[in-house]
Amino acid sequence: MTGFFTQVNRLWRAAMTGVCFALFGLGGLLLSVVWFNLLLVAVRNKQRRRKLARRSISASFRLFLAVVKGVGVLDYRIEGQAILGQERGCLVVANHPSLIDYVMLASVMPETDCMVKSALLRNPFLSGVIRSADYLINDQAEKLLPACRQRLQQGDTILIFPEGTRTLPGKK
């Protein structure tokens, strides 16, 4: 019987992994197309819009992680969660082996800023999110450092993924 339950578990996890990927993609598209663009139009105060967008991102990621954990696709534990949620005016530099690390960090850091690749602005799943949350874009080098300095001075926490934002060899 052990082999049978192992096979059922494997099939369940494979099916739920597909469901979770679909949930993430469709949820991201729906939020990007509807909610974050609505924020861009309806909330004129840039600071308030940023705060709402970033808290929305965090809440949607917490919900997604609860679903993923609930159906048994992923089991995780975030150590130092309280520290990450309280930090202000600092840089968080993280390894970036997959998208799930950003999801986990943003889920416990409700108002974090993030440095993103400019190519992501062309992604229909992410562009509304990036614009609404007013994330830092890495392709404007002369504006990036002063913008980072200003945001750190106002108490923002900036999340950086060096592996996801590095330049290409031979290019500035």
Residue 78 lies in a domain: yes
Q: Is residue 119 part of a domain?
A: yes
Q: Kindly tell me if the per-residue pLDDT of 104 is higher than 70.
A: yes
Q: Which helix (H) or strand (E) covers residue 84, if one does?
A: helix 81-86
Is residue 166 assigned to a domain? no
* Assigned domain for 116 exists: yes
The rounded distance, in Å, linking the Cα atoms of 109 and 104 is: 9
* Number of helices followed by number of strands (H, E) in the chain: 8, 4
Q: Give the model confidence (pLDDT) of 111-150 as tens digits.
A: 889 888 888 888 877 788 888 899 999 887 788 889 999 9
Give residue 114's domain range. 2-160
In sequence order, which residues have a C-beta less than 8 Å from that of residue 113 and are 6 or more positions away? 54, 133, 134, 135, 136, 151, 156, 157, 158, 159
Q: What is the pLDDT of residue 120?
A: 85
* Tokens at 14, concatenated: 């494979």
Is 70 exceeded by the pLDDT of residue 152? yes
The domain tally of the chain equals 1
Is position 169 within any domain? no
Interior angle at CA 106, CA 100 and CA 107, nearest 5? 90
Question: What is the reported pTM?
Answer: 0.83
- In the chain, DSSP assigns E strands to 91-93, 113-116, 136-137, 158-160
Q: Is residue 172 part of a domain?
A: no
Whether 170 maps to a domain, the answer reads: no
Residue 61 lies in a domain: yes
Confidence of residue 165 (pLDDT cuts 50, 70, 90): very low
